[in-house]
Amino acid sequence: MKLSPNAIRKPGPWFLLRCILSQLLGRSNQVIQSYRKDRISHVELEQDLPLLLTKKKPLLIDVGANAGQTISMFKRVFDQPTIHAFEPNKALVETQLATAFGQDKNITLNAAGLGAEEGVLKLNHFEQDQMCSFLPLDNGQRNPYAGEAVVNSSEVPVWTLDEYAKKHSLGAIDLLKIDTQGYDLQVLKGADALLTAGKVSFIMLEINFIPLYVGQPAFFELDAFLNKRGYALVDLYEKIWVENRLAWCNGLYQKI
């Protein structure tokens, strides 16, 4: 409701004080409520995941496992999860992942990538192994990693999640996590049958808001693809800012 100029009066000091106190108390209460362990915080991913996905022994897919950071997180927050992990950097699979998780019968490690179709792709290995990607690096001024050297490359087998799920009789997937350095939309396209059939309950994927890799999808492309298949955004987590602008984060989607 818009007030006319005649209806506006200069507020007194007690009114201003009440407004300030109300705002301070309201914000404090909001922060306190967001960190209550029994409700969705929309801030802490590890707090929210087990509240949203309450199933015992969930089936989880980790695409872009790197050194196993997400696998470790899954084991912390979920009750007896079954995990299928995919990492195209074979050296990481044979060393760090195999050492940390190779003896766990509930974890399957795959030295392969996922994409829109099956085949073989060249993986670019950068100085920082977490930046390995099937895409070339964007060397524009907005990319904080511009100029990062490619130390070598390797030929990597690439599968689709649709075919992998059929081959291994996975059935319903409770959570699909994707962190593939700009290749996330291709992974989603390779899981189109599963997504369209509603066989994936939650999707967690990296979203880049600045150009890191040549050919990476924009947020609106990922969002539109998932919305069309019946997925809604829960929230954006683990935000990283570059020069006061949102650079990248993890988006959590839920099937509705």
- Asked whether residue 24 carries a pLDDT value surpassing 80, the answer given is no
User: What is the tens place of the pLDDT at every residue in 130-159?
Assistant: 899 999 999 999 999 998 989 999 999 999
User: Which pLDDT value is given to residue 16?
Assistant: 53
User: What is the tens place of the pLDDT at every residue in 220-244?
Assistant: 999 999 999 999 999 999 999 999 9
User: Which pLDDT value is given to residue 17?
Assistant: 60
- Asked whether residue 109 carries a pLDDT value surpassing 70, the answer given is yes
- Asked whether residue 23 carries a pLDDT value surpassing 90, the answer given is no
- Asked whether residue 113 carries a pLDDT value surpassing 80, the answer given is yes
25 belongs to a structural domain? no
2 belongs to a structural domain? no
110 belongs to a structural domain? yes
Strand duo 245-255 + 200-208: pairing: antiparallel
CA dist 34 → 25, 29, 40, 74, 240 (Å): 14, 8, 7, 21, 20
19 belongs to a structural domain? no
Residues 253 and 233 sit within 8 Å (Cβ to Cβ): yes
- Under the banding of pLDDT at 50, 70 and 90, the label for residue 129 is confident
The CATH number assigned to the domain holding 184 equals: 3.40.50.150
User: Which pLDDT value is given to residue 4?
Assistant: 33
Helix (H) / strand (E) containing 90: helix 90-92
Give the closest residue to 78 by CA, choosing from 100, 104, 47: 47
Average pLDDT over residues 113-130: 95
**pTM of whole model > 0.75?**
yes
- Asked whether residue 173 carries a pLDDT value surpassing 90, the answer given is yes
117 belongs to a structural domain? yes
34 belongs to a structural domain? no
Higher pLDDT, 120 or 34: 120
The count of structural domains within the chain is 1
- The domain of 205 spans 40-255
User: Which pLDDT value is given to residue 38?
Assistant: 76
